Amino acid sequence: MLLVSAPILGVSEKAALSKVIDSGWLTMGERVRAFEEAFATMHGADDCVAVSSCTAALHLILHALGIGPGDEVLVPSMTFVATANAVLYVGATPVFVDIESADVPLMSIVEAEARCTPRTKAVILVHFAGYLADRLEWQKFARARGLQIIEDAAHAPGLKEVGTFGAAAAFSFYGNKNMTTAEGGIVIARDPDLRERIRQARGHGMTTGTHQRLNSRTPQYDVTMLGFNYRMDEMRAAIGLVQLQNLQEWNEIRRILTVLYRRLIATKCPTVAVPFSQPRTSAHHIMPILLPRYAKRQDVIDELRTQGIQTTIHYPPVHQMTLYRERFPGTHLPLTEDFAQRELTIPLHPQITASVVEAVVSGLAIALSNCAQTGAAA
């Protein structure tokens, strides 16, 4: 089965893990610190905070900003559910905002303005598929309303523009991301005070960590704030240090494959739309396409699967999931809903070759031809 995404792991990662095991120090040590410094350097930041997941990163950012009960946070529904969940974690209310268009499935600034209230305190921008939102427009929007900008950058590691939009950015290193630590995440926050609040809250609000106390030769510590157990361990950091060395090369391969996909789809599957038709900075995390309205998506999925090609959907709209539908009944986002009904994600990762891309597009053409014939017969 050709997978939609696949981690690249090898001898270097195994060697890095072996060194951690041999060292006897398994969590929050020198490797975590080295990973934070290396990731910050790649993104032109002074420092960052490694955590256990992107979800933890989003929660910590909201918590450190003091967002809580009575506050509202603008979020897209075209995202993974963690984006909205993190808002609920701090007791605030997620307010779902429609996308700009089928071609630009990022949060609409016009719709965001319509959903602002005096209770709105922040906006979480999701760089869907790795494509960046319009920084200057969103900064202008946030300044005019006194809002904090938080970036959900789970899809966009390696881009220097990420982490410069507003208060902070949250990254993911889950197994299907452009680089992985299996589980894990990181926060870029430019303001040092905010960053240190996040760092302290990561480890139960303790004033020092175990490794720090070992080096300072004193077992004393205090707890000065409410905190969480969101630490990253040394093994994940060790993998991250290796992966980070390859991230820019892997992102470039993704870009090249995306260009090829766009050209072949335009030729062989002209009824299929590929979002982000205009040039836009991207880490090219996934390859989303929009099927024509005559095609039954499940039939396309089934046909490609018979050819050994996995597909998936990014994303089922969060506002239509049972938890959120029950909490926020009546939410209707027409563009998001239409996009989600027709979207299909096809394989994209650095282990794919040009011939594989051609095979995927050929398989897609066959599936669409079958759909057209079925529709004509009906």
CA dist list (Å): 126 to 37, 74, 266, 274:
24, 11, 27, 19
Question: For the residues of 144-206, what is the DSSP string, one character each?
Answer: HHTPEEEEE-TT-TT-TTTT-SSSEEEEE-BTTSSS--BS-EEEEESSHHHHHHHHHHHBTTB
- 14 part of the active site: no
CA dist list (Å): 71 to 90, 116, 148, 232:
10, 11, 12, 29
CA–CA dist 109, 129 (Å, integer): 18
Residue ranges of E strands in the chain: 49-51, 72-76, 93-97, 120-126, 148-152, 168-172, 185-189, 287-290, 343-346
Active-site residue, selected from the candidate residues 160, 177, 268, 296: 177
Query: What token pair was written down for 308?
Result: 């050994």
Q: Are 227 and 202 in contact, with CB atoms under 8 Å apart?
A: yes
Which element (helix H / strand E) includes 141?
helix 135-145
Query: What token pair was written down for 260?
Result: 């090829």
* Long-range contacts at 368-373 (CB < 8 A, ≥ 24 apart): 368/269, 368/271, 368/272, 368/291, 368/292, 368/295, 368/300, 370/299, 370/303, 371/294, 371/295, 371/296, 371/299, 371/300, 372/294, 372/295
Enumerate the active-site residues.
177
